[in-house]
Copies of this chain bind each other. A is one copy, B any other.
Amino acid sequence: MKSLKPIPWKDVELTAGFWEERNRVNREATIPVGYQHCKSTGRFEAFKLNWKPGKPNEPHVFWDSDVAKWLEAAGLSLGTNPDPDLQRRADRVIDWIAGAQQSDGYLNTHFSVVDPKGRWKNLRDEHELYCAGHLMEAAVAYYEGTGKRKLLDVMCRYADYLCKVFGRKRGQKRGYPGHEETELALVKLYRATGVKRYLDLAAFFVNERGRRPHYFAKEARARGENKSYRWGDYDYLQAHLPVREQKTAEGHAVRAGYLYAGMADVAAETGDKELFKACRTLWQNITERRMYITGGIGSTRHGERFTFDYDLPNETAYAETCAAISLVFFAHRMLNAEGDAKYADVMERALYNNVVSGVSADGKHFFYDNFLASMPGSHKFNGQKSPERQEWFGCACCPTNIVRLMASIGGYMYSLRGSTVYVNLYGGSSAQVGLNGRQVVLQQRTGYPWKETVHLTVKPVEKQTFTVALRVPGWCRKAGIKVNGKTVRPPMRKGFALLKREWREGDKIDLSLPMPVERLEAHPSVRHDAGRVALQRGPVVYCLEEADNGKDLNDILLDPRARLSVSLDAELKVPVVKAHGRKRSKEGWNGELYRVQRSRVTPCPVKAVPYFLWANRGVGEMLVWVREG
């Protein structure tokens, strides 16, 4: 079956609602904030290659990637919202980047000025190819967003150089990125330019990974390194086995997500069924055993990595913002490869929960890791990051990932295959779709994810027969669809309702997605969630906060039969969930820490708010999985 093609972000105007707001805040607050941080930390300056030993702001091995991600966001944003100031700034950054390119095409600030002899000596640790990949993504986005080729040309020269350095021919290196990302970036570059060798290099990186004799071991020996690798097995960077033999998601979660997305890209472009099967196996392991209900992945901060099946601790959850974003990338590629809404379900879960949690409502404060339970003060004693969103991080991968994702969110909403337009995500928008050479506009009006209805208007330039495929979210059990006011019962395929007809200008589709609050249970082997439920309404996971419920959230007990009422919160401006609960009374606890006598249990009101909004009202306890009984 042919793949779906995403409708590019540039052809999707965000008109109102949740994503329009996130996109706007991103444009108005986060892009400027990112610029300031890249500037003040010397990340832009680094491209001038005038750093000298002893000077401050030594270019770090992954600084280039932060600039690249900011620039990618700028390019994306300029594609939908022209802004001469931003364009001027971005052009200047591109000039600096171009100026840093070496005569052979190589481009990396750290290895140009800090460690010139280190080039390609340590692919395992040094993020060289990772930075290259991010710069390629930036180049493509900037070219597509602005039509300007300068960075694209720079990066094609770099990629051409990479094609000479890496490969299976005599004299070439059989290496591959220690931090994956380059693979998916090369496929993007290939798609933007049509230059097949970029795809070939991506495929080479994917296929070479994990083979024996092990490149990273050889490379370490060549460096004269005699210590064993600090992470033991190469599973930390998904190089413990050739990728086709990997059955479980292992190691550093961001690396893993980027690799899997790159594998799916290569499989889609090359028709490599075996590779795609590996993607499906890894997808299944993640989503069936190693993913938080928020779409978070990578459950421990030690190595920011996957651990083992069903190991999903809440208070010490790592669930890095970048990792959830990498899962969005992987999901998006799988969705388009298979046309199956189940991938969009996970994509949506990650987006509305772990991803949006990573940035504050004002777009200026960020979470790196995203706990599912929080006890103020505990981070001081267990090495966790603060339970307050921060202005920036020394390792700035998460904010710069947020900024580019929010700028491109429109690109995840629609896809096309033949004469079928897929609506993957709901949100106020207007999409331009080229159908059989004729333009169709698809408009959405909706208060989703808070409201249950989505109104679509179909506007073909002239009447035309095609299919509108509406995703019926996995969480929805009673979707209703009307076309021009009349209830229809269209056939379903892989989670999409297929509305095929001759569409005329102004035809209306009304989609109703009833959103009762549901109690979700985790698999019995998730030991951290036993006896607990998570509240979810539509795609949004809810949580309890101390601000609403007082302290000792873990002691709150939700009656399995308690009515869960939904109401608009005056302060938060979103629907909140209220219910009756119970809690132990501390009466009679006079200094004992343990006792036989049973506590009195007293009723207490329970209020849950959307998880992604947590920590916007000061520091306090937070809890996603609430005890039930």
Contact present for B524 and A596 (CB under 8 Å): no
Indicate whether A526 reaches chain B with its CB closer than 8 angstroms. yes
Q: Which residue on B lies nearest to A598, using beta carbons?
A: B521
Q: Which of B311, B382, B583, B584 contacts A381 (CB 8 A)?
A: B311
Indicate whether A551 reaches chain B with its CB closer than 8 angstroms. yes
Indicate whether A593 reaches chain B with its CB closer than 8 angstroms. yes
**A514-530: which residues lie under 8 A (CB-CB) from chain B?**
518-528, 530
* Alpha-carbon gap, A509 to B595, bound state (A): 29
Contact present for A307 and B381 (CB under 8 Å): yes
- Report the minimum CB–CB distance from A311 to chain B (whole Å): 7
Which residues of chain B have C-beta atoms less than 8 A from A527's C-beta? Answer: 375, 552-555
* Alpha-carbon gap, A534 to B596, bound state (A): 10
- Report the minimum CB–CB distance from A345 to chain B (whole Å): 11
Contact present for A627 and B534 (CB under 8 Å): no
Write 12 A-B pairs (CB below 8 A) sorted by A numbering.
Answer: A284-B591, A293-B594, A300-B381, A311-B378, A518-B596, A520-B595, A521-B594, A523-B592, A523-B594, A525-B552, A526-B593, A530-B552
A590-613 vs B: 1/0 string, CB under 8 Å? 011111111100000000000000
Which residues of chain B have C-beta atoms less than 8 A from A531's C-beta? Answer: 531, 555, 557, 627, 629
Contact present for A378 and B522 (CB under 8 Å): no
Indicate whether A586 reaches chain B with its CB closer than 8 angstroms. yes
Q: Which residue on B lies nearest to A526, using beta carbons?
A: B593
* Alpha-carbon gap, A593 to B286, bound state (A): 10
* Alpha-carbon gap, A116 to B285, bound state (A): 57
Contact present for B382 and A302 (CB under 8 Å): yes
- Report the minimum CB–CB distance from A443 to chain B (whole Å): 32
Main secondary structure of the interface of A (DSSP, over half): loop
Contact present for A377 and B308 (CB under 8 Å): yes
- Report the minimum CB–CB distance from A599 to chain B (whole Å): 6
A520 touching B300 in the complex, CB below 8 Å, given contacts A381-B307, A555-B527: no
Indicate whether A383 reaches chain B with its CB closer than 8 angstroms. yes
Most buried by B among A305, A524, A557: A524
Which residues of chain B have C-beta atoms less than 8 A from A299's C-beta? Answer: 381
Number of A residues with CB within 8 Å of any CB on chain B: 60
Contact present for A599 and B307 (CB under 8 Å): no
Indicate whether A148 reaches chain B with its CB closer than 8 angstroms. no
Q: Which residue on B lies nearest to A520, using beta carbons?
A: B594
Which residues of chain B have C-beta atoms less than 8 A from A288's C-beta? Answer: 591-593
Which residues of chain B have C-beta atoms less than 8 A from A589's C-beta? Answer: 523-524
* Alpha-carbon gap, A288 to B591, bound state (A): 6
* Alpha-carbon gap, A528 to B595, bound state (A): 16
Indicate whether A287 reaches chain B with its CB closer than 8 angstroms. yes
Contact present for B524 and A594 (CB under 8 Å): no
* Alpha-carbon gap, A629 to B627, bound state (A): 11
- Report the minimum CB–CB distance from A304 to chain B (whole Å): 11
Contact present for A599 and B378 (CB under 8 Å): no
Contact present for A524 and B599 (CB under 8 Å): yes
- The interface of chain A, by Cβ under 8 A from chain B, is 284, 287-289, 291, 293, 299-300, 302-303, 305, 307-308, 311, 313, 315-316, 375, 377-378, 380-383, 518-528, 530-531, 534, 551-555, 557, 583-586, 589, 591-599, 627, 629
- Report the minimum CB–CB distance from A347 to chain B (whole Å): 16
Which residues of chain B have C-beta atoms less than 8 A from A519's C-beta? Answer: 596
Most buried by B among A313, A375, A381: A381
* Alpha-carbon gap, A554 to B528, bound state (A): 8
Which residues of chain B have C-beta atoms less than 8 A from A518's C-beta? Answer: 596
* Alpha-carbon gap, A521 to B597, bound state (A): 8
Contact present for B291 and A584 (CB under 8 Å): no
A307 touching B629 in the complex, CB below 8 Å, given contacts A521-B595, A553-B527: no
Which residues of chain B have C-beta atoms less than 8 A from A592's C-beta? Answer: 288, 523
Which residues of chain B have C-beta atoms less than 8 A from A583's C-beta? Answer: 524
- Report the minimum CB–CB distance from A370 to chain B (whole Å): 17
Which residues of chain B have C-beta atoms less than 8 A from A584's C-beta? Answer: 524, 530
Most buried by B among A520, A525, A594: A594
* Alpha-carbon gap, A518 to B594, bound state (A): 11
Most buried by B among A523, A591, A593, A596: A593
Contact present for B378 and A307 (CB under 8 Å): yes
* Alpha-carbon gap, A593 to B283, bound state (A): 13
* Alpha-carbon gap, A66 to B353, bound state (A): 52
Q: Which residue on B lies nearest to A300, using beta carbons?
A: B381
- Report the minimum CB–CB distance from A307 to chain B (whole Å): 4
* Alpha-carbon gap, A377 to B308, bound state (A): 8
- Report the minimum CB–CB distance from A228 to chain B (whole Å): 15
* Alpha-carbon gap, A584 to B521, bound state (A): 11
Which residues of chain B have C-beta atoms less than 8 A from A534's C-beta? Answer: 594
Most buried by B among A305, A307, A523, A629: A523
A521 touching B381 in the complex, CB below 8 Å, given contacts A375-B311, A531-B557, A627-B530: no
Which residues of chain B have C-beta atoms less than 8 A from A627's C-beta? Answer: 530-531
* Alpha-carbon gap, A162 to B305, bound state (A): 50
A594 touching B522 in the complex, CB below 8 Å, given contacts A555-B527, A627-B531: yes
Contact present for A289 and B593 (CB under 8 Å): yes
